[in-house]
Amino acid sequence: MEERMGHGKLIVFTGPSGVGKGTLLRVLLRSHPDLYFSVSATTRAPRPGEVDGKHYYFVERSAFERMAAEGELLEWAEFAGNYYGTPRQPVLEQIRQGRSVILEIELEGARQVRQTFPEAIQVFILPPSVDELETRIRGRGQDSESAIVRRLARAQEEIEAADEFDIQIVNDDFDQALAELEAALFNSNCREPDLAAT
């Protein structure tokens, strides 16, 4: 389908924790400033160096629950005891302005978006292997042993769902993964979201 003026694409970007999604996205966004990165809301505490409104909107649990109840979130999920979700209005506004919007979200959220925006481009980033993923998670030094075990169990479930996604990219060689991601996003005739349905 030809791209109409004034309508951007919605790109859903997911994969297990530790797979390198954040690094891929940072480089992609630097290279393509026309892309809009949707900032998620979360109830978790900021990590060192994280800035409210840039990395996440850090909100109280009660405020998040109100946003979910009032339909202000495009998707939301609970992960590791905290809520994460995508504020709806900024995403729709950017798409109406013709910008392509990237959501970096969990598997559960990606499934919710698929119900609302079946024409969204769905991208899943895979590790070269589960062993390599474990090495990366341990190398970050951010998690306790019990948290690592939980993350790896969840990663296994997520990897098994990769076939649900339009595009699957293995992040083994970073430059190659980035090139595959750019080719998938910019060299395809993707359908645009039907904003009238939202």
Below-50 pLDDT ranges, the chain: 1-6, 190-191, 193, 196-197
For residue 145, tell me if it sits in a domain: yes
pLDDT for 143 equals 79
* Helix, strand or coil, per DSSP, at residue 37: strand
Threshold 0.85, pTM exceeds: no
59 falls within a domain: yes
User: What is the count of structural domains for the chain?
Assistant: 1
- Residue 157's SS3 state is helix
Q: What are phi and psi of 158, to 5 degrees?
A: -65, -45
- Domain annotation covers residue 171: yes
| Predicted local confidence at residue 138, as pLDDT | 87
Distance CA 56, CA 84 (A): 9
pLDDT at site 99: 93
User: How much is the pLDDT for 3?
Assistant: 35
**How far is C-alpha 36 from the geometric centre of its chain's CA atoms?**
12
Give the model confidence (pLDDT) of 36-61 as tens digits.
Answer: 999 999 999 998 999 999 889 999 99
Q: Residue 91: give its domain's CATH number.
A: 3.40.50.300
Residue 109 lies in a domain: yes
Judging by beta carbons within 10 Å of its beta carbon (0-12, 13-18, 19+), is residue 37 exposed, middle or buried? middle
4 located within any domain: no
Cα angle 169, 172, 177; round to 5: 45
> pLDDT, tens digit, for every residue of 144-158?
898 889 889 999 999
Helices (H) and strands (E) in the chain, counts: 7, 9
Residue 11: its H or E element:
strand 10-14
Q: Is residue 5 part of a domain?
A: no
What pLDDT is recorded for position 188?
A: 53
Asked whether residue 3 is domain-assigned, the answer is no
> Does residue 183 form part of some domain?
yes
Strands across the sheet containing 73-79 = 57-58, 41-42, 82-87, 73-79
Packing angle of the helix pair 145-160, 130-140 (nearest 10 deg): 140
Range of the domain at 168: 10-193
